[in-house]
Amino acid sequence: MAESRPNRQFSHVILGLDGTLVNTDYVVHQVLKSFLVKEGKTWDSKKSQCLLGKGPYEAAVAVLEDCELPYSAEEFLNLITPMLTEKWGNIKALAGANRLVEHLRSKGICVALASNSPRANIRAKLSCHPGWEESFAAIVGGDEVTKGKPSPNIFVEAAKRIKSDPSNCIVIEDSLPGVLAGKAAGMHVIAVPSIPKSTAESGAADEVINSLLDLRLEKWGLPPFVDWIEDTLPIEPWFIRGPVIKGYGSGSGLLGIPTANLPVDKFSDILSEHTSGVYFGWAGLSEGGIYKMVMSVGWNPYFHNSEKTIEPWILHDFSEDFYGEELSLAITGYIRPEANFRSVESLIERIREDGRIAEKALDLPIYACYKDSTYLRRGQSN
């Protein structure tokens, strides 16, 4: 990747936890949905977005007001907390989180963790991610300060514990309360919004990025990642499989780029862990054949899709459609964040460039080895 001159030098990093490093939002959504169904209420992802950045008590009050439940906040927390605690020990890391924590540790950067969650919950969430807890020079929980985010108290306390002036700290946060708290503490803030298409953080943060995969630490005078290869980022591979279905008609119809769409309802868990963007890897069809592919994950801003989709483009000319055929994917690398375009022509040009990047990169040994994955060959005849 091209080098960029740092805006200025920073010596310390303070990270949020929930929604920044771990997939707390999805866990909370699933638990609340299950609980509220038994209460005769409904809960959806848009309602869950209202809880982002809130501490447990504030979140409980918001749920009770929205659903008009006959509990006090304390009673509600007593009911819901055991259900959440059971999940914390298996909470998944978000895309790029392991990479970031390991990189900062390996470069000797002083890092603190500052979360609105109580310290006991933080400890439980960190327990399933080996090496994380030891990577933080200080950990500050919401129950250790008088006011949580958006008050600056948590970040001020974190800076004090790592013996840094706030102006020397870079904060990485996902929610608007976290961004506001970091700025109020006198720190520079990078926002990684949890809410799709959110613009609220843009005006408050010093930089807004799509995901931790897009982080360019050298812009802030910190040691850069050196793992990009030929405009691609190797990632921990993930695998999905499902029947090919008809999509919105924009792929082959408008763009002249046929995509093999998969049913998103089958992949809500894994989609919650992976950021929107353009990925690539290998595709296996049940009727035979392993092919290079590039795919978009997200909302396709140009077409204003209302749901997060998976749209692989298999880099091969087929003589006929294969709707209903089982498609297995090994996703091995990342190219870029999802973006909007001013014209359909510029969108097509960028998609084809993504295809060229993927086509070339998949010949590299670090990616080519996954072509032989047994996962891709399920159901294929010899």
- Name the one residue in this structure whose structure tokens are 């870029």: 336
Is 199 found in the same domain as 118? yes
169 in a structural domain: yes
Is 104 found in the same domain as 84? no
pLDDT of residue 248: 57
**Burial, 45: exposed, middle or buried (Cβ in 10 Å; 0-12, 13-18, 19+)?**
middle
Is 330 found in the same domain as 283? yes
Is 336 found in the same domain as 241? yes
258 Cβ contact list (under 8 Å, min separation 6): 251, 252, 313, 318
CA-based end-to-end distance of the chain = 41
Is 96 found in the same domain as 59? no
Cα 221 from Cα 10, distance rounded (Å): 6
Is 79 found in the same domain as 177? no
7 in a structural domain: no
Cα 37 from Cα 46, distance rounded (Å): 16
Entry field: residues in the chain: 382
β-sheet bridge partners, residue 229: 232
Tokens standing for residue 338? 């999802």
pLDDT of residue 267: 84
294 in a structural domain: yes
Is 198 found in the same domain as 138? yes
4 in a structural domain: no
pLDDT per residue rounded down to tens, the chain (382 residues): 444 455 678 999 999 999 999 999 889 989 999 999 999 988 877 777 788 778 888 889 999 998 999 999 999 999 999 999 999 999 999 999 999 999 999 999 999 999 999 999 999 999 999 999 999 999 999 999 999 999 999 999 999 999 999 999 999 999 999 999 999 999 999 999 987 666 656 678 999 999 999 999 999 999 999 999 999 999 999 999 999 987 655 555 566 788 888 888 888 788 888 999 999 999 999 888 999 999 999 887 666 666 788 899 999 988 788 888 999 999 999 999 998 888 989 999 999 999 999 999 999 999 999 999 999 987 565 4
144 in a structural domain: yes
190 in a structural domain: yes
Domain-terminating residue out of 189, 220, 251: 220
Is 212 found in the same domain as 282? no
CATH number of the domain that residue 171 is part of: 3.40.50.1000
Domain-terminating residue out of 166, 188, 220: 220
CATH number of the domain that residue 361 is part of: 2.40.30.30
CA distances from 103 to 97, 106, 206, 263 (A): 10, 5, 22, 35
> Closest by alpha carbon to 239, among 300, 286, 275, 283?
283
pLDDT of residue 49: 75
Is 249 found in the same domain as 315? yes
Q: How many CA atoms does the CB half-sphere of 328 hold within 13 Å?
A: 18
Is 150 found in the same domain as 35? no
Cα 256 from Cα 89, distance rounded (Å): 46
- For the chain, the three-class secondary structure string (H helix, E strand, C coil) is CCCCCCCCCCCEEEECCECCCECHHHHHHHHHHHHHHHCCCCCCHHHHHCCCCCCHHHHHHHHHHHHCCCCCHHHHHHHHHHHHHHHHCCCCECCCHHHHHHHHHHCCCEEEEECCCCHHHHHHHHCCCCCHHHHCCEEECHHHCCCCCCCCHHHHHHHHHCCCCHHHEEEEECCHHHHHHHHHCCCEEEECCCCCCCCCCCCCCCEECCCHHHCCHHHHCCCCCCCCECCEEEEEEEEEEEECECCCCHHHHHHCCCCCECCHHHHHHHHHHCCCEEEEEEEEECCCCEEEEEEEEECCHHHCCCCCEEEEEECCCCCCCCCCCEEEEEEEEEEECCCCCCCHHHHHHHHHHHHHHHHHHCCCHHHHHHHHCHHHHCCCCC
Strand 188-191 to 138-140 pairing: unpaired
CB count in 10 Å sphere of residue 99: 19
6 in a structural domain: no
Is 279 found in the same domain as 130? no
Give catalytic residue positions.
311
CA distances from 140 to 147, 161, 336 (A): 12, 9, 33
How far out from the chain centre does Cα 258 lie? 27
pLDDT of residue 53: 75
| Domain count across the chain | 3
Is 294 found in the same domain as 246? yes
Domain-terminating residue out of 191, 220, 249: 220
> Closest by alpha carbon to 251, among 205, 219, 194, 296?
296
pLDDT of residue 268: 79
225 in a structural domain: no
Range of the domain at 325: 233-377
Global model pTM greater than 0.95: no
Per the CB < 8 A criterion, the answer to whether 224 and 217 are in contact is yes
pLDDT of residue 320: 80
75 Cβ contact list (under 8 Å, min separation 6): none
